[in-house]
Chain A
Amino acid sequence: MEPIVTTLVFAPLVGALIAGLFGRRIGDLASQSVTTGLLLLTCGLSWMTFYQVIWGSWAGQETFTLAPFIHIGNFISNWSIRIDTLSAVMLVVVSSVSALVHIYSWGYMAEDPSRPRFFAYLSLFTFAMLMLVTAADFMQLFFGWEGVGLASYLLIGFWFKKPSASAAAIKAFVVNRVGDFGFALGIMTVFWMFGTIQFAELFPLIAAKAGTQWTFIGQSWSAIDLACGLLFIGAMGKSAQFFLHTWLPDAMEGPTPVSALIHAATMVTAGVYMVCLLSPMFEYAPVTKQIVTLIGAITALFAATVGLAQNDIKRVIAYSTCSQLGYMFFAAGVGAYQAAMFHLFTHAFFKALLFLGAGSVIHGMHHEQDMRKMGGLWKYLPVTYAVMVIGTLAITGFGIPSLHLGFAGFYSKDAIIESAWAASGKNGIASFAFVVGLLAAGLTAFYSWRLAFMTFHGTAKWDSAHADAHGHDDHAHDAGHGHDDHAHDDHGHAHKPHESPLVMLLPLVALAVGAIGAGYAFVESFVGEHRNEFWRGAIFNAPTNHVLEHAHHAPEWVVMAPLVVSMTGLAVAIYVYLMNEGMGLRVASRGGPLHTFFYNKWFFDELYEATFVRATRFLGDVFWKIGDQKIIDGFGPDGVAAVSASVGRRLSKAQSGYVYHYAFVMLLGVAGLLSYALWAWAH
């Protein structure tokens, strides 16, 4: 057992090192083969682990300590691999999506000159993510947390020659700093409170200390709420929740496979994973749970509204990701951690599918990302079209409640909405989350179908668009980077959209299978009757927490409501984008206040620019230009040097060359020394 899990965690690291350090020497093909091969190995072993942990002979919960990490006094952290249901689920999600993305990238990145670097980063990311999900204490969790942050930074800025990509990478890094600061403080709080950061030692201690209060600035604070709140700030940063979400849409500057792997399926769900992992803590932090619910609900609604008005195909999906993460968080917030994990699981499949499908469209459209310049593509990209429709059906939660049959999102999203309803009896914020969940489901349906219709249906706008744009610079602007695209002149057959190669389609098909079947296959295990045997204590529910129980007995209208609202969203989308094509554009061009508000993402970037960015820059300027240049340099090195030089010049000016001047100075010196001596002796 131990060799298997060790191999599966470290194989991507080996691949990353080989491709990263020797990529130039061994060549592109070898680098790609090594990384992809090792990833497939990891993937296979992950599924095996998953099978063994859930149905097989392995003990449900086991931790392998590999090596010491930090041992300082009581502060003990080890490199270790923790295997339980929770980490097994994450292993499967991470390694499967990562393996598919590796394969997909063979086609998508085929013309990029620095493929070894790309695959090395992808594998490095996978390693960091695996370290994160198998962590048995906070420090390794933090290590993985920062590792995925680093890989994310490197991959967003993969096309670093493009200024917008560099800026986006820095933005992602900086915004995550805010979250990580909270996370680090949270870890310190936990250590301060419990004297340990080992999950296994920590969790049994929590119930006893649940009521601890700390006094700070004359106020009494619930210590466990504080700790969880700080940790949740970390989760907010990584999972792009409201207030710290601004980096995620910009992260779409990275190559599309990266968006699929990191910014949809895996890394951004780390926050959800952490909250579920720490369910034994959060269960005793009622206030923080309310905050989690509130933030999650707001994010779900906010991102969905912004998604309505975006035109960039990747940005729509990015906001959709943001919104779905909101769902997961409010599910965790109301206590339905299982539902959150379930949605995380299904979402990984259909969101990766949507992203990779979008990548296929972009690939086929020669790196055009603006949906307004697409349309009618279903004829040219039939496979992509088919899988995108499957993905859309999955994300909109299409299914038939009475038969209990539907796409993946149907099971998980409905479980969340029902949980929110179940919790809302004594909890106002949960009611809010329930309403928001329904509303956002309708919006999700609308913008998802809008994406599908604008891209694949209607009249083709790309012909004229491309003819117009050809030879213009603004074409290059949307196409962006120069190096990964097909150089436009290479294509003798003009700019006709084309279906992607098989190596890209296969992962799409595989994910489509997941998007269809993952819900049906696992609903009983994750949230249904068998959930206790499935989780085997990896997720903790307080004795008073019966949310999932209640959710199962939700009334008929609650069960039907999601379908109704999403069908409504679909109907509106059909009306606006199929039956009255061009209506959406007219609404947008009218520039109404609501559209402007949504289109500009609630003006968050502008707000942050005006407050934090400008204030920070101002502060930086103060320290740099006044503090450093004027005060430290001015009075320090520069000032002293200038004074020295001027003293030197004056001294040499006194050296006039006239003997009588010299004699005069000598006599002055005698007189001066005498006077000084008389004065000094008198004292």
Chain B
Amino acid sequence: MTFQDALLLARPEVFLAASTLVLLVWGAFRGDKAMGEVSIGASLALFVAAGFAAVSPEGTAFAGGFIADGASIFGKVAIYLISPVAIYLGDRWLVRVGNGRFEFPILILLAALGMGMMVSAGDLISLYIGVELQSLALYVLAAFRRDDPKASEAGLKYFVLGALSSGLLLYGASLIYGFAGSTHFDLIAKSIEGGATGTGVLFGLVFLICGLAFKVSAAPFHMWTPDVYEGAPTPVVGFFAAAPKLAAMLLLARVLSEGFGTALEQWRQIIVVTAFLSVAVGAFGGLAQSNIKRLLAYSSIANIGYALIGLSAGSAEGMEAVLVFMVLYMIDVTGFFACLGALSRNGKPMEQLSDFAGLARVRPGMALALTALSFSVMGLPPFSGFWAKMFVFKAAIASGQWPLAVVLLLGSVVAAFYYLRLIKTMWFDAAPGQTDKEPLDAKGVAIASALFCFPVVLPALALLEPLAKTAALAFGLK
């Protein structure tokens, strides 16, 4: 493989990196008044990168460190398409709160670039580079409103705990390298198959899983989630909850299936435990929350649990379920945070559950959108969340994971309570007063994602499902 071929495989990332640098320089010269231009440029760059990714050839480059296959293409397209939405929402939102800075789109770009690296990682080194690139951008994004103590606290917490998790991840990587003798996933798989590595390499795997579990906020590495979700700027949280989760899930899936596919029975047990814990923590923890953003943090923990159930199936069907689930969830959650970003009362964002009382009378459109999104996350047919859960459920049953399928159902039942409570509050409680007029951008995104939940999801699924199926086959599991 020539260097040119390698660059061709990495064309989306190369293009993104170059654009980022150009836009950064542009912004540095023009200052914050260039925020609009930089945002547009960043969005365009992401769209182009998505286009490059979609037509990208398949293969490996840079001595196996970079992989372009069905799964990575699927992930990149999804990530690069959802990121501009985050830029669009965040840009407007920050301007409204008087914090518009041109670095915001740049940071999103960098994070997206990191995610692109994550889903393409072929060895432990590029894995770490991708994760760190993404994480560093996210730390800064969380603390983007420096003058807001809550946001700063959130950013700092995220950073400190993220550093800890990076440590775990690196420690695991070094253990694996030490026992398996390679950082390449395929070579690691070979050495495990040979049986020379013993449990040492698996020991390293547990650390690696722990590090990645932090990134997807799976229990018991979820503790940062509620605090960060509550403190960070709303559109940023919307971004956190969507693309990085997909990237990290994809990465986890790739490590486990390509690097440790032969040790499926071993890692499955770890995943099962984290999945179970995540569902339980997410479902029960949300019951006591009165802050909607914290509530959504628990909701995301539970949903990661469901995705992990799909992963634990350890089959192509399971991987497909994970991909479909994550994409549908991403759209749901983006809509949710768009609603939160859109709603405010007297200039103060509405974040408490009680703020939503009687919303149906004051803002029927938003209330309807929120209701549809809630029904969807709850898993009510025929909304998108139902289909997402059904894929996971079917995969779990097909691979004999009965207990986890039951856990999924029970978790959904418990979690349904807090979605229903939100709906009840909006439709049946008395409104405390008028809300501010919702901005068009956030409202548009909210309504668009609500419409996606139903009925757009039905034709979209017909399109998405074969793509996810092809992508899932790339992991090489049966």
Which A positions have Cβ atoms within 8 angstroms of B? 644-645, 647-649, 651-652, 655, 657, 659, 661-663, 665-666, 668-670, 672-674, 676-678, 680-681
Contacts and interface: CB of A to CB of B under 8 A. Distances in A.
Interface in B396-432: 414, 417
B269 A672 contact: no
A674 B224 contact: no
Nearest to A643: B284
Contact of B206 (A657, A668, A674): A674
Contact of A663 (B164, B210, B219): B164
A368 B227 CA distance: 79
A645 B287 contact: yes
A548 B221 CA distance: 98
Contacts of B64: none
Nearest to A682: B199
Given A651-B281, A668-B220, A659 B210 contact: no
Contacts of A659: 156-157, 160-161
B329 interface: no
B288 A645 contact: yes
A652 B202 contact: no
Nearest to A654: B223
Contacts of A680: 266, 269
Contact of B202 (A655, A662, A670, A677): A677
In order of increasing CB-CB distance, the 4 nearest A-B pairs are A648-B287, A669-B220, A662-B223, A648-B288
Interface range for B? 35 or more
B206 A677 contact: yes
A321 to B, nearest CB: 56
B210 A669 contact: yes
B27 interface: no
A663 B161 contact: yes
Nearest to B267: A677
A652 B164 contact: no
Nearest to B274: A673
Given A644-B417, A676-B269, 18 more contacts: A644-B287, A645-B288, A648-B284, A648-B287, A649-B287, A651-B284, A655-B226, A659-B160, A659-B161, A662-B161, A669-B220, A670-B207, A673-B206, A673-B273, A674-B203, A676-B273, A677-B266, A680-B266
Contacts of A678: 199
Contact of B270 (A657, A661, A666, A673): A673
A669 B221 contact: yes
B189 interface: no
20 contacts: A645-B288, A648-B289, A651-B285, A651-B288, A652-B288, A662-B157, A662-B223, A662-B224, A663-B164, A666-B161, A666-B210, A666-B220, A666-B221, A668-B220, A669-B221, A673-B274, A676-B270, A676-B273, A677-B206, A677-B269
A659 B289 CA distance: 20
Interface string B284-309: 11111100000000000000000000
Binding site of A, secondary structure by majority: helix, strand, loop or mixed? helix
Interface in B119-164: 156-157, 160-161, 164
Contact of A670 (B210, B227, B281, B287): B210
Given A648-B288, A662-B157, A670-B210, A677 B270 contact: yes
B169 to A, nearest CB: 11
B450 interface: no
Nearest to A681: B266
B52 interface: no
Nearest to B286: A648
Nearest to B226: A655
B223 A666 contact: yes
A666 B164 CA distance: 9
Interface string B223-239: 11011000000000000
A670 B266 CA distance: 16
A648 B206 contact: no
A402 to B, nearest CB: 86
Given A666-B165, A677-B269, A681-B202, A672 B220 contact: yes
Contacts of A648: 284-289
A42 B157 CA distance: 91
A139 B453 CA distance: 55
A674 B289 CA distance: 31
B214 interface: yes
Nearest to A652: B288
Contacts of A647: 284, 287
B170 to A, nearest CB: 13
A670 B224 contact: no
A129 B207 CA distance: 84
A678 B157 CA distance: 31
A652 B289 contact: yes
Interface in B244-289: 266, 269-270, 273-274, 281, 284-289
B288 A649 contact: yes
A674 B273 CA distance: 11
A648 B299 CA distance: 13
A377 to B, nearest CB: 63
Contacts of A674: 203, 206
Contacts of B273: 673, 676
Nearest to B157: A659
A680 B210 CA distance: 17
Contacts of B227: 655, 657
A5 to B, nearest CB: 56
B222 to A, nearest CB: 9
B377 interface: no
B403 to A, nearest CB: 14
Contact of B223 (A649, A661, A676, A681): A661
A626 B164 CA distance: 53
B168 interface: yes
Contact of A665 (B223, B269, B285, B286): B223
Interface string B182-216: 00000000000000000100110011011000100
Contacts of A657: 227
Contacts of B274: 673
A670 B224 CA distance: 16
Nearest to B199: A681
B67 to A, nearest CB: 27
B135 to A, nearest CB: 15
Contacts of B269: 676-677, 680-681
Contacts of B223: 655, 661-662, 665-666
A522 B469 CA distance: 93
A518 to B, nearest CB: 67
Residue with the highest number of chain A CB atoms closer than 10 Å, among B224, B226, B285: B285
Contact of B414 (A644, A666, A669): A644
